[in-house]
Structure 1
Amino acid sequence: MPVAVSATLAADEALARRRLAGQEVLSLASGEVGLPVLPRLRSLLADAAGRNAYGPVPGSPRLRAAAAGYWARRGLPVDPGLVVCGPGSKPLLFALMLAVGGDVVVPVPSWVSYSAQARLAGARAVPVPTPPGEGGVPDPDALREAVAAARSGGRDPRSVVVTLPDNPTGTIASPRTVRRLARAARELGLVVISDEIYRDLVFDPADRIASPALYAPERTVITTGVTKNLALGGWRLGVARLPDSDTGRELHTRLLGVVSQIWSSTAAPVQEAAAYALEEPPEVTARVTASRRLHGTVVREAARRFAAAGTVLTPVRATSYLYPDFEPLREDLVRLHGIRGGTALTELLMERYGVGVLPGAVFGEPDDPLRIRIATSRLYGETDAERTAALTARDPLELPWIRAALDRVTEVLHDLTGRPPGPAPDGARP
């Protein structure tokens, strides 16, 4: 079945073409984290360049032990023998869908690749809405209904994907909802695939996520990597934690068969640097803390500006994403621009203003609502010097390049809606 190019990557390419043509652009589409590589990781990667052997399919012993330690420090201990490494958490998620088989329940809205990967695996996605304000986890009651309907229609859902914290909304499902989801998955015999790539980017240290592995440990797989917390997307390194159960060990065997036929092994030099990162020495934890603070400061200020323009959005608690709803501005958008859906709004923002965002439709939303996803992680600077300054600034919002980007957001929203910015909501400034 044909699958379109990832909407995120397509938006990046469109912005790059405009930039090469000398046009002003503001990149708010991509989730790539625009921060410099930690110097120690750079040197470790270079020093390991001579490691050119394939190595074990699931990853080096050191990497798997480091990943097991990472999870143990988060209350999720695991045997390193049940850890599998891959060239990014994205291909690991796809390999897991292949290994589990059957159709895949996905939350709505959800990351653009879950449904596409299900189709590539020869399966179909079963969409289930998330509870209000709790993105990333399908509503447990609706999940039961959707799975029952799918099975009565001859389909075969075997897994459910959750995202904690969530992309695209920047929210976190409550422990109660995750517990209910885990109970429903057990009753329905579903494997839970918990994408926790944003786990380390929760703004409030006390506001920790509740992994489904706490409530359904025998059937929950967790994936993560170094793409978001350490801005190493181009290095392509992900890890999966398989459950210590009959289900988990059987899935581990099938997963190794799949990955051995697709990528054989992950680049050995990257594994060496990533093992050090997952061991979390002080310089790594300090960098993650600084990144988390920067993300929180900038995305909350962007959210304040969208709210002041009249959009509605749930408070962002993690990541660098926000998901504003322009429904209160529908009459203005129809009158001024003839816009009735998020896709048309996205196209206008790109063509008229050079602002790249993504419409809710690409995240599985039905009927093209007036919701769009904003990513602020590319606003930290054009050079490593600027990005380092953003990481270390007492107040990143005072840096001229960040302030200029956010002011451009306000300017575009004002022109788009024909309204002056409204008063800032309570708690507007982090």
Structure 2
Amino acid sequence: MRRTDPEGHGPVRYGPPLPDDGLPVLPEIAAVLAAAAGRAESEPVGGGTALLEAACGYWGRRGLPTEPEQAVAGPGAPALLLGLTFALGGDVLVPRPCAAWWAPYARLLGRPVFHVATPAECGGVPDPYALLETVRRVRDEGGDPRLLVLSVADDPTATVAPPEVLHETVEAAAGEGLYLVSDETWRDTVHAPHDTVLVSPAEMLPEQVTVVTDLAGAHLPPGWPAAVARFPAHHAGNGLHARVLDVLTALGARVAGPVALAAGYALAEPEPLTARIGAAVHLHARVAAAAHAAAVGAGALSRPPQAGRHLYVDLGPLRAGLSSHGVGDAQDLEDFLAARLGMPAPGGHRFGDDLAALRVRLSTGALLAGTDEERAECIGSPTPLELPHVQRALIHMKSVFDDLRDDAQRWESPR
């Protein structure tokens, strides 16, 4: 990500992609795609029968019974969110920070986007009292808030919202008549699934929630774009479902035929895939914990990562040292850390956070980078943090953070 000019400080076209897993493609799913390479026919808009039935099975195993007429597939979650935003109309509410791709689609449609502070416990969902105050203020100013986008397993903060916090937020949203889109891209990447309770808003408010899942979260490589959406049953979701299909049709937003077959295979969750997902989650949990320890050990602030392949770090306590390097805001920090770490370090402003705040999202996949053989070794190793290329990357990260801590201590005013 190159430095942007002052007027375009962090424009959309430099927005960060979803965190990569840094691993080779699973051979079994690569074989499915390869076998489908000769498929000439197009996948229907919204997804074919086999793909939608696989999606229904996926949600059913997670306590969300679904019929094919409630489901839609698209070439990535952004296309689905664009369709939903257009179909619902009105102003959009999102937590601060939020996934980098949420707000641009509303702005593309000319819809105002309002960021709402998150609770102390987690990111991904607005604080219920802050949500009520924001809705009141927007309406007092003549706005029309209709849609709240949230995420229980969050990008960028890598936290999982506790059910009681989520329940309060959902209740507040329902009381204000808001429709909810729940981005559940990262729900299958929870680091400690037996110790972490993850509840979908669709379980709490079934008639006012659409669930969106981008398969790049856990099931497919990011370069194979596919996502699925689950609408409320019966009359509550029928009209919205139809309007979203209209948008996808107008955009020609279809899942590529070979990718659709790979997505159907992935959503059916055969044993090779579930084993790979489990191993990858365990690997990234360990790497994220090591990266988190390096950051907080140097004095930075970060909630312990609970899901995904990333962590969100606040380097505000090290501002004095960073200032000596010319770092004054999140864009400066992005440029500085990307150069020092040798990996993408998108600033918090990419996620709707304050430009002045010194926050970044760091991805664990970049710490696994190496040859194909080295990356494959990561997934099967009982001690991945001791592999030479991973160990070098973590040592380098720790040294960068430690240097910043030392710089900050040197520049702090004596007491």
* TM over 0.5, shorter chain: yes
Q: 1:262 aligns with which of 222, 244, 251?
A: 251
Q: Does 1:295 align with 2:295?
A: no
Distance 1:331 1:241, change over 3 A: same
Partner of 1:53: helix, strand, or coil? coil
Q: Which runs of 5+ in 1 are unaligned?
A: 10-29, 422-430
Determine the structure 2 residue equivalent to 1:308: 297
Asked if residue 396 in structure 1 is aligned to residue 384 in structure 2, the reply is yes
When residues 173 and 264 of structure 1 are mapped into structure 2, their CA distance, relative to the original with a 3 A threshold, is closer
Q: Compute the displacement of 1:154 (Å).
A: 1.7
Of 305, 308, 320, 1:331 maps to: 320
* Structure 2, gaps ≥5 residues long: 1-7, 410-415
Partners in 2 of 1:351 and 1:47 — Cα distance? 41
CA distance in 2, matches of 1:370, 1:177: 26
CA contact (8 A) 1:54 1:264 kept: no
Residues 203 and 292 in structure 1, CA contact (< 8 A), matched pair in contact too: yes
Q: What is the rounded CA distance, in whole Å, between the counterparts of 1:297 and 1:96 in structure 2?
A: 36
For residues 355-391 of structure 1, give each alpha carbon's deviation from its aligned partner in whole angstroms, at most 9, with x where no partner exists: 4312122211225212221111122233332221101
Equivalent residue for 1:19? none
Q: Which amino acid aligns with 1:255?
A: V
Whichever residue aligns with residue 202 of structure 2, its letter is: A
Q: Is the 8 A contact 1:128 1:139 kept in 2?
A: yes
* Offset, 1:352: 5.4
SS at match of 1:418: helix
Aligned counterpart, 1:137: 125
The equivalent residue for 1:173 is 161
Deviates more, 1:362-371 or 1:117-126: 362-371
2:375 to 376, 387, 404: 387
**1:17-416 map, 5 Å:** 31-206=19-194, 207-334=196-323, 336-351=324-339, 354-416=342-404
Which residue number corresponds to residue 8 of structure 1? 16
Distance (whole Å) between structure 2 residues aligned to residue 409 and residue 352 of structure 1: 9
Deviates more, 1:268-277 or 1:297-306: 268-277
CA RMSD of aligned residues (A): 1.9
Provide TM-score, normalisation by structure 1: 0.88
The amino acid across from 1:273 in the alignment is A
Give the whole-Å Cα distance in 1 for the aligned partners of 2:269 and 2:182: 22
Please say if residues 135 and 169 of structure 1, whose CA atoms lie closer than 8 Å, have aligned partners that are also in contact. yes
Give the conservation status (yes or no) of the 8 Å contact 1:34–1:231. no
Partner of 1:427: none
In structure 2, what is the Cα distance between the partners aligned to 1:271 and 1:351? 38
C-alpha change, 1:231 and 1:36, in structure 2 (3 Å) is farther
Paired residues, number: 399
Aligned-partner residue type, residue 54 of structure 1: S
Name the CA distance, whole Å, in 2 between partners of 1:208 and 1:151. 34
Take 2:312 and 2:339, find their aligned partners in 1: how far apart are those partners?
Answer: 21
Task: Tell me which amino acid in the other structure corresponds to 1:62.
Answer: A
How high is the TM-score relative to the length of structure 2? Answer: 0.91
What secondary structure sits across from 1:134 in the alignment?
Answer: coil
